[in-house]
Structures are given as structure tokens and as C-alpha cells.
Amino acid sequence: MVRSDARFDVKVVDFLLESSPARITTYVRVAGKTFFSRVTYHTIPSWDDLWGRVDVRCRPQILGALVAWDCMRFLALGGETLELCDGLELDASARATWRHCFLNQFGEWRYRNQFRYRNGDQPLVICRDPLESVARPRAGDTVSRDTSAAQRWLVTNGGGKDSLVGMMLLGDAGVPFDVYEGCLPIGGASEVQTSLLANLRAAATANDSRLISVTIEDDFFSTPDDVFRRLGVRTEHFKSDFAVGHTANYPGYFPLILYHGYSRVWFNIEASADRTMARWNGEDVNHQWCKSQEYHECSSQLFRELTGDHRFEGFSSTLRGIHDSVIYRIAGMEEDLLRMTHSCNLNKPWCRRCAKCCFSYLMMAAIKGEPFAQEVVGTTESLFEAPELATIWRDLLDVNHVAWECVPSHEECLLAVRECLRRGIRYPVLDRYAHAAEERLEELRRSYHTIDWSKVPAELRRPMIARIARAGADL
């Protein structure tokens, strides 16, 4: 068990706003060492251009939320408080939302470290309270909104099969949308990330879809682990992908929504993202909580409260009503596009050594055959028989273990195992779980081939019906 340690409290010592394009650089101090985090909004010319569309009372809290959520990852070193500097504000309600989001987003990190805070109200954001008389703008108090974009949507492109299918569905719906692409400080070289995303976008979207690009940089993920150990850090897993979230998690999208006037921001997140992966101290623990419907709803409400802009419909998912088994079948109808996807968070496009790579390989082998899966991930060998992957396959397929990654349930993986065996793909790792897959076949099909239409957005129901019909009547 690891206890929280005030030596690793996070203090924001300064932030810098720059223009051409708009960017914010945050400087934080932890255990005597200074780190930076920078977010660059390539399609926003300047902060003045953004502030011209926002009530003056909103500015300190918009910046406060952006920085507070962006700095969550520094608290994974074991600190108890995040102190914001002058110019950054959050009222009590926003601070409570931040704490709720942190505890859930970092639930896996707390669970795997058996981490405990010394006091029950930790972690805390410490900052200046906005004056009560100007704390929150009223509905409609934002200065202006680009009404020409009121029905234009923003969809995120992460480069994987979920992004591919989500963009195809939105394109089928005929509603104009722009495409967000973020370059993160994890996952490999920025040039590789940018190229992979651009290639998929160009092939999968209409020509009138604008690129909305954001770059996130820091010197936290690049700092060698032994530096943190010398500082006395005792926690593990503090550089996991969920630590950086999206663009400063969801508040990082707030400037884009305000400047471009988007009515909705779409993510392409499938049904398994809301499932519990472990129970600990009465809490549900989920590696993918940063993709959950609850986080979407919390962030949508936070945006409305901080900006007074109640015309924003919220953060949504194109794929919340379907599982990976269905998504891969839809994507498999567009083989050339599926070949352009990637799924690895460690060394893009494919490291071929992580749970996400193995799961994607399993699903593609089940849907399109193993030669296709090998071609996509770039190998002439079978990932099913690599000795060094035995533990990963166990975590994916054995209900007594957990694959701490953005992957679906063991049951859905077992369904894919059965499809592989039906195709004649035979390896010891698959044979080991053949009985479990066959024994529950009908149950698994009902669970993972069934569409939850109540969670399919109304605008996408007709396109989804058409895509599913093409993919196979058994769905």
C-alpha cells in the first residue's frame, strides 16, 4: 500500500498565453523539480480572438479548468493537492467536479498502487474563489457564437477502427463535420502520429471536413523513471495513457467549442468503455473511465456552467450502442480503410507487444482471417504463438485476470476466439479457451451482437442500420 505524500503536491507556478496560433504553457513545481505542459490550438489565431466570443467573467475559470484537468497527471506521483496560481480560478462546484473526475479517471492507478490519501477530502484543488457576484455567467451570457457553425459538429480521429466507423456513420448521415486530431506526448514520434491520422482522415471523410489540430507537449512523459525514483516517488503506473487523457481531458476542448461554435463534439467510443474492470473499496474501477458516458455528461455540464453557453448539446459517442464485435464487422467491409487504422498507444502504429495490439490482431483474425491481421500489424509471424505474449493473452482471455488497456471484456474476446477456431486458426492459446467459448456461444452472441438502439444517436440510426445490413444479417 502507498500513502499520499505532501512532498509531491503540485503547484502551478505560472502559465503563459501565446498567439499565432493560440497556445497555453503551464509550469508546475513538484518535489523541487519544474515541469511544463503545453497545448497548442492550431486553428485559433489568438486568445484575443477566442475571448472576443466569451463573457469576460468566464475567462479565469475556463483557464482554471483547462489547467486543473491538464495537471491531473502530475498528481500521479503521489501528491495531495493541486495549487493554481493567480489568474486561474475554479469555484466550489467545479472543484468538486474535478475531484470526482480525478478519483474515477485515476481509479486504476489508485487500485494498482493500493493508494490511500491521508485525508478523506483529498485530493484537493487550491485556488482563489471567484467573487460570488460574478462566479458563473447566466445562460446566454457568452458574448457571441458563430451561428453559421451552429449545426456543424466536431468528430475526433484517434486513428483506429472506432474512428473509422464513426466518421463513416457521420458521413452517411450527411451532416457537415470537422475532424479533430491531437498529437500527444505518448505513443511515439509526433511525425508518425500526424501522418497516420492524416492518411485515415483523407481516405474516410469528405473534402469539406476541416482539420482541427491540437498539439500537446510536456517533459513529464519523457523524464526517465529513475529521475522520479531519486525524488522519492513510490507510486507505479504514473505514465499510463489515461494520465494524459485527451486534450487536457475534456476541458481542453472548451476553447475549440467556443471559437468554432460547435454544437456537439463526437467521440467514437464503443459500449465496453463503460464496463467495470475491478471492484475495490466499494468502487468500480475502469481503465477507460476517461471515455465513459458519465465523464461526457460531467464535462458537458461543466462547459455549460463555466461559459453560460447552454446551446452546446454536449460530448457524445457515435458507437455507444454497439460492441467491438459489430464495429470490426462494419469496418471489415472497407478492407482498404481498415488497413490504414492503428490501435497502439505505446509505439505507433503497432508495437505488436501490448494488449491493444493483441486484441486488434485477434479481432481482425476472427473477422478477416489471420493473414489479413498479420498484414495490418506488419508481421510475418503469428502473435498467437509468440512466447513473450503469453501473459497478455492470459489477461485478455482469462476471467481471473485483467488487461489494463482500452480493450473489451474477456467474454467478447472469447467470442472472437470461437470465430478464429471456426476459420481453422488453431494455436494452443486459442485451443485452451475453446471450451469456454463454445459453451457460452449463444449467450455471447446475444450480448455482443445485439445493438442497444437506445444508445444509438437518432441521427445515426439509419446509417447504422444500413452498415450493419451490409456487414451481415446475423447481427
**pLDDT at 391 exceeding the cut of 60:** yes
Mean per-residue pLDDT, 207-228? 93
Instruction: For residues 360 and 282, state if they share a domain.
Output: no
- Give the model confidence (pLDDT) of 86-136 as tens digits: 999 999 999 999 999 999 999 999 999 999 999 999 999 999 878 654 555
Instruction: For residues 93 and 221, state if they share a domain.
Output: yes
Mean per-residue pLDDT, 462-466? 96
- Give the model confidence (pLDDT) of 165-183 as tens digits: 999 999 999 988 999 999 9
- Confidence (pLDDT) at 136: 58
Select the more confidently predicted residue: 128 or 157. 157
- Confidence (pLDDT) at 361: 98
Give CA–CA dist 172/188, Å, rounded: 32
Instruction: For residues 261 and 350, state if they share a domain.
Output: no
149 band by pLDDT with thresholds 50, 70 and 90: very low
Residue 427 lies in a domain: yes
Instruction: For residues 265 and 364, state if they share a domain.
Output: no
Q: Which structural domain, as residue segments, surrounds residue 219? A: 2-317
Mean pLDDT of the chain, nearest integer: 92
234 by DSSP, 3-state: which?
coil
Beta strands in 184-324 (DSSP E): 211-218, 264-267, 278-280, 283-285, 314-317
Instruction: For residues 8 and 75, state if they share a domain.
Output: yes
Amino acid identity, position 110: R
Instruction: For residues 359 and 210, state if they share a domain.
Output: no
**In angstroms, how far is CA 263 from the centroid of its own chain?**
20
- Confidence (pLDDT) at 187: 83
How does DSSP classify residue 425? -
Given the DSSP bridges, would you call strands 81-83 and 10-18 parallel, antiparallel or unpaired? parallel
242 band by pLDDT with thresholds 50, 70 and 90: low
Residue 58 lies in a domain: yes
40 band by pLDDT with thresholds 50, 70 and 90: very high
Residue 358 lies in a domain: yes
Number of domains in the chain: 2
Q: What angle do CA 407, 408, 413 make, to 5 degrees?
A: 105
Instruction: Quote the pTM value.
Output: 0.94
- Confidence (pLDDT) at 135: 52
Residue 443 lies in a domain: yes
Residue 310 lies in a domain: yes
Instruction: For residues 308 and 446, state if they share a domain.
Output: no
In contact, 356 and 287? CB cutoff 8 Å:
no
Question: Percent of the chain scored above 90 by pLDDT?
Answer: 83
Phi, psi dihedral angles at 37 (to 5 degrees): -140, 135
Write the DSSP assignment of 130-153 as a string of letters.
Answer: PPGGGSSPPTT-SS---GGGTT-E
**pLDDT at 67 exceeding the cut of 70:** yes
Q: Which strand (E) or helix (H) includes residue 15? A: strand 10-18
Give the C-alpha distances (Å, rounded to integers) separating 51 from 37, 198, 212, 433.
22, 30, 19, 57
Give CA–CA dist 471/463, Å, rounded: 12
Instruction: For residues 281 and 420, state if they share a domain.
Output: no
DSSP-assigned beta bridge partners for residue 265:
154, 315
Residue 123 lies in a domain: yes
Instruction: For residues 294 and 441, state if they share a domain.
Output: no
Select the more confidently predicted residue: 369 or 475. 369
Give the C-alpha distances (Å, rounded to integers) separating 408 from 111, 332, 363, 415.
19, 18, 11, 11
Mean per-residue pLDDT, 28-45? 97
Instruction: For residues 351 and 403, state if they share a domain.
Output: yes
- Give the model confidence (pLDDT) of 333-353 as tens digits: 999 999 999 999 889 999 999
Nearest C-alpha neighbor of 399 from the set 430, 433, 431, 425: 433
Instruction: For residues 101 and 194, state if they share a domain.
Output: yes
Instruction: For residues 158 and 243, state if they share a domain.
Output: yes
Residue 323 lies in a domain: no
How does DSSP classify residue 249? T
Residue 286 lies in a domain: yes
**pLDDT at 473 exceeding the cut of 50:** no
